Amino acid sequence: MCQLLGMNCATPTDITFSFKGFSQRAGVTSDHADGWGIAFFENKACRLFIDNQSAVNSPIADCLRRNPIKSKNVIAHIRKATQGNIEVENSHPFMRELWGRHWIFAHNGDLKNYAPVLNGTYLPVGTTDSELAYCALLQGLRDRFGNNEPDLAEIFSVLAELAPTIAAHGTFNFMLSNGQALFAYATTNLHWLIRSWPFSQAHLVDMDLDIDFSHYAKPDDRVAVIATEPLTDNEQWTAFTSGELLGFENGHLRYQAQTHVKLIEPPTQPVQEQAFANAV
Amino acid sequence: MCQLLGMNCATPTDITFSFKGFSQRAGVTSDHADGWGIAFFENKACRLFIDNQSAVNSPIADCLRRNPIKSKNVIAHIRKATQGNIEVENSHPFMRELWGRHWIFAHNGDLKNYAPVLNGTYLPVGTTDSELAYCALLQGLRDRFGNNEPDLAEIFSVLAELAPTIAAHGTFNFMLSNGQALFAYATTNLHWLIRSWPFSQAHLVDMDLDIDFSHYAKPDDRVAVIATEPLTDNEQWTAFTSGELLGFENGHLRYQAQTHVKLIEPPTQPVQEQAFANAV
């Protein structure tokens, strides 16, 4: 399993406070030490940092904690390997291009017996179930809209159709962004909150660090934060319901859908084994 | 214009020495200060670092100089903007996926009246002529081979057909890698050398720094270095001829083609102006 962190804002915002707490989970307060990654959008493009070291020890993670990159859309991931080796090719987030924008995806969960039919437009580089799911999502969007870039409501609507078909294979908590909005989906574990004017103080769960955002933020700042587990212990986090898809834009919750996930039953036992079980 | 640096090796190799000299050109020994980027392959995937700051001042560039990443294929770029603003979306190298591998491209030059017909499979995220050319190259490869990944000789052969059609629009020096090989093409300015056993001493052009590779390298190490301008002043660099495409694999020069570039003439003068000119 892994942990996810996302941020969607009205104005370019520094994620350092949240990332400091989050990256403690890569070996200090939790054992998600098999690689990490973070993507910062600037308009249609993003800067992606991935690493197969722990986010606690990685010099690049340290550099990012000391030199903040402001962004309106950020997705970060710390990995505890379940499927796929600890290699760069298996480090989330994954980046692809669609309709002349970078798209970023990160997944927490484990999909079983998942083998989507991919037409070659997007193929996985690594060996994770996560990247397979990402290719299937982008192929699904492209199949539906061709070369005509849809608006965010249309994208959200297709994601709400596609997500439960993938979630039928197991645990599927994910974040996806094209630099305009951040979409987040949960089957088991994801939380969100929105910080807005007048900002207040926050204290991290994973280290004894607090910040008073009211000293730094301006009235038009507005920040949605989404994380596998709440990052702070003195703010009100809302848990996603199972099958819930949310879409955040400019720090506002803009889109909400409740999908219905029906887990695909594991293959039935072979006849011989079944006969034996019945005999016992 | 911009400057390019590439490395193709038999074993994962540290590019720090070359990158130290190269990044001096981003403001110290030259004025290529409008962004930089570097991509390090690890098998089929790569780690890409891009920045719209100067490589001299960038904290990330500094971190990479202090914390070497070993790789068999590296492409780096420092930018002096000609087309496209100084934005992350216009920072080379550019990354896309094809046949389940990351592909990396960086360009030095300037293309005029270049408007390839793109079918939507690969679209530029930024506004550079370079990313347009990259999308056209990948589309050309995909058009030729569909979903069947060709071998390196076949890829090289198609690149030798496509490169001069783009170079017809201006200056087109580029590097391209899929993690297996590094392809480099020049119309005006590119140099290469190969370092192999027994290694010797090298001294940078751009700063007073030398290294004796024989103290670090092993007999099976072998490194091809390609750069816009020679990086060292005591080694034998070979200049590309105009229209030359080279393919390096495991630190060996494996493929060579001489293409014939015919520059497209600029549009003729409108009739009225021509009549006036004739009258004078």
Domain residues for B63? 2-279
Cβ-defined contact of B88 to A42 (cutoff 8 Å): yes
- Given a contact cutoff of 8 angstroms between Cβ atoms, the answer to whether A20 and A197 are in contact is no
For A127, counting Cβ atoms within 10 Å of its Cβ (0-12 exposed, 13-18 middle, 19+ buried), the class is: middle
Give A126's contacts in chain B (Cβ within 8 Å).
44-45
Distance CA B138, CA B161 (A): 13
Amino acid letter, A126: G
DSSP tag of B213? G
Please tell me the distance in Å from A14's CA to the nearest CA on chain B: 16
Structural domain count of chain A: 1
pLDDT mean over A185-199: 97
φ and ψ at residue A261, rounded to 5 degrees: -100, 125
- Given a contact cutoff of 8 angstroms between Cβ atoms, the answer to whether B82 and B90 are in contact is no
Give me the residue from B45, B51, B63 closest to A60, CB to CB: B63
Cβ-defined contact of A88 to B60 (cutoff 8 Å): no
Max Cα separation, chain A?
Answer: 72
The pLDDT, as a whole number, for residue A211 is: 93
Give me the residue from B59, B88, B125 closest to A97, CB to CB: B125
The pLDDT, as a whole number, for residue B280 is: 34
Query: Best of B97, B104, B122 to disrupt the A interface by mutation (most A CBs within 10 Å)?
Result: B97
Place of tokens 């973070």: A38
Q: How many CA within 13 A on the CB side of residue B117?
A: 1
Contacts of B16 (CB under 8 A, 6+ apart): B64, B65, B68
Contacts of B148 (CB under 8 A, 6+ apart): none
For the record, the structure tokens of A176 come out as 């996806």
pLDDT at A114 over 90: yes
Res. A170 pLDDT band, cuts 50 70 90: very high
pLDDT at A267 over 90: no
Residue of B nearest to A67 (CA): B59
Give me the residue from A50, A96, A146 closest to B97, CB to CB: A96
- Given a contact cutoff of 8 angstroms between Cβ atoms, the answer to whether A246 and A192 are in contact is yes
Please tell me the distance in Å from B68's CA to the nearest CA on chain A: 10
Strand partners, B108: B173
φ and ψ at residue A71, rounded to 5 degrees: -160, 155
Query: Best of A97, A105, A148 to disrupt the B interface by mutation (most B CBs within 10 Å)?
Result: A97
Amino acid letter, A41: F
Please tell me the distance in Å from A67's CA to the nearest CA on chain B: 7
Distance CA B183, CA B177 (A): 6
Q: How many CA within 13 A on the CB side of residue A96?
A: 27
Query: Best of B38, B88, B143 to disrupt the A interface by mutation (most A CBs within 10 Å)?
Result: B88
For the record, the structure tokens of A20 come out as 């400091």
Q: Which of A2, A9, A46, A135 is catalytic?
A: A2
Distance CA B227, CA B162 (A): 22
- Given a contact cutoff of 8 angstroms between Cβ atoms, the answer to whether B79 and B122 are in contact is no
Cβ-defined contact of A88 to B124 (cutoff 8 Å): no
ipTM for the predicted complex comes to 0.91
How does pLDDT run across B72-114, given as a tens digit for each residue?
999 999 988 776 777 889 999 999 999 999 999 999 999 999 9
**A63 catalytic residue (yes or no):** no
Cβ-defined contact of B45 to A97 (cutoff 8 Å): no
How does pLDDT run across A207-259, given as a tens digit for each residue?
999 999 999 999 999 999 999 999 999 999 999 999 999 999 999 999 999 99
Give A72's contacts in chain B (Cβ within 8 Å).
none
Handedness of CA B49, B53, B59, B65 (dihedral sign): positive
Instruction: Give the CA dihedral B224, B229, B235, B237, nearest 10 degrees.
Output: 60
Residue B152: count of CB within 10 angstroms of its CB: 15
Res. A272 pLDDT band, cuts 50 70 90: low
Distance CA A116, CA A131 (A): 11
Cβ-defined contact of B102 to A123 (cutoff 8 Å): no
| pLDDT tens, per residue, chain B with 280 residues | 789 999 999 999 999 989 999 989 888 888 888 889 999 999 999 999 998 888 888 999 999 988 999 999 999 999 887 767 778 899 999 999 999 999 999 999 999 999 999 999 999 999 999 999 999 999 999 999 999 999 999 999 999 999 999 999 999 999 999 999 999 999 999 999 999 999 999 999 999 999 999 999 999 999 999 999 999 999 999 999 999 999 999 999 999 999 999 998 766 655 454 444 333 3
Is the backbone peptide bond immediately before B266 cis, with ω within 30 degrees of 0?
no
The pLDDT, as a whole number, for residue B278 is: 39
Dump the DSSP string for B1-34. -EEEEEEEEEEEEE-HHHHHHHHTTBTTSSB--S
The pLDDT, as a whole number, for residue B268 is: 64
CATH number at residue B187: 3.60.20.10
The pLDDT, as a whole number, for residue A280 is: 33
Please tell me the distance in Å from A257's CA to the nearest CA on chain B: 30
The pLDDT, as a whole number, for residue A268 is: 64
